Structure 1
Amino acid sequence: MASSSSASHSVPASMSQSWNYDVFLSFRGEDTRRNFVDHLYKDLVQQGIQTYKDDETLPRGERIGPALLKAIQESRIALVVFSQNYADSSWCLDELAHIMECVDTRGQIVEPVFYHVDPSDLRKLKRKYGEAFGEHSVGENKHKVESWRKALEKAGNLSGWVIDENSHEAKCIKEIVGTISSRLPSLFTNVNKDLIGIETRLQDLKSKLEIQSGGVRFIGIWGVGGGGKTTLASAAYVEISHLFEGCCLLENIREESSKQGLKKLQENFLSLVLKTKDVVVGSEIEGRGMIERLLCRCSRIACLVW
């Protein structure tokens, strides 16, 4: 089963960084590239999480080592998939050592996934990890063995997801992506929150939404043109959208429905919530049915329209 990850670190204000990637995905290619990691990467990207994965993001012609180390430094979160043969790769161990260094020097967050391995295998160099280090100790990388061992021990002590033969991988991936997604919004800046007087109005609106109480809420914001209705609604959307399974923002619905018809508006809604571009609605009646089924299936959907 997967356990909810709590491998986060408190980052001092002085360590505030600018990041080019949300997530750096570290993994052993021959173990997981075409299965678990492939599905994990797809779901991360569909969630709008900018993820660095070497065979997807590496510019052609760059040397792998320096490019990967640079990408690690530019990533806010390191998501490390420890599989059985992870420690066989000197590249993976170099990545991990650099990730653990960035935890201390750049305030990076590490989220470990123990994929068919036990965390104690990392801490105590047992089973496949012990065999790999036995070979590294007498090979050309023997001078790196101690730093690699410390990095593995540190990673093995972090709380993460343990995935074994009894786990449902699709459910585990959903939990991982959800946790990553929930971490990121707190790191983003709501550009509207610096406007004078908006903070009080924003808190009032959020209290009326009663997000944690369950049920369905419809909130209407009424006022004269130019009074800040859209600004307030947008600020609320930025703050709360990550709490929902699906979310969408539909602008100028009166004008858009007049120009393109209700079917197109239904397609836009479904595409945004389902995070796909392939939604086709045959008729307005069919669109209403599709939306009804979607709303029944998803327990938490946020939609902002004006």
Structure 2
Amino acid sequence: MFTGLSAFPLTPLSGETPDEAAFTGLIERLVAARVDSIGVLGSTGHYAYLKRETRARIARLACQHSGDIPVIVGIGALTTAEVLACADDAQRAGATGLLLPAMSYQPLGEAEVFDLFASVDAAVSLPICVYDNPTTTHFQFSDQLYRRIAALPNVASIKIPAVPGSPEQVQTRIAALQSELPDDVTLGISGDGSAAAGLNAGCAAWYSVLGGLFPAAALAITQAARAGDAAAARRLSADLDPLWALYARHGGSLRVIATAAAVLGLVNPPCLPRPLHSLDGANRADVAATLAALNLC
């Protein structure tokens, strides 16, 4: 489950409630594309903005419409008690795995983050993916903390942020991380524009925003890298440079992907939780033109 392409779709909203028809449509696209797993209620799924009962409903919908594709459900929250409640909801919904970030308002220390993961590990029966996303959580995992958490019985994967540097530097970093982890704990890369580099360097999974909306494009990169064709993976990623440029211009992938979903007619704007906005005007036109130029429409 924690290998290959893990596709992370939006949770489209209609006002303050989920647009269930649009969400299940996104899930069914991923099933039809045969992604390796589906990750719901990650950052692209707006977990931090949604009430517990809404998140439980989204988890149930994803599991009901995922067919035989494994579903990883995000359970991040500000308190350990709320995380445990979300974990229980996800297990009851039929999730195959759990995705846990070190979410906080007050800055967390390493001992506090380890306690969070140890508490969840002791309470659940599903495998856990560690979600390292310093852009949103503002917590930076150390290699020592990775090692301690990876030794917990239910921890099965670590979702790392993009690794900067040359292909050789990325490979050295990934190899160093892998040497710190048990053999049964996978490393997965995030950061769409850096995914090819991470996969080529030995990451077993790509936790992908792109894959949540454009699974065929993400699968092509993933499959090339897993087949050992590093040049093809780099070329396919480079072909999407105009999309990565939009990510950079608009503060990350979320607004671009939400706008792209609207351009494709898969969601009804506005679909993001307020105060977040999708792109409009000239910025929306840029997204539409980029999708057309990349044959993603």
- Normalised TM-score (structure 2): 0.32
Larger Rg over CA atoms: 1
TM-score for the superposition, normalised by structure 1: 0.31
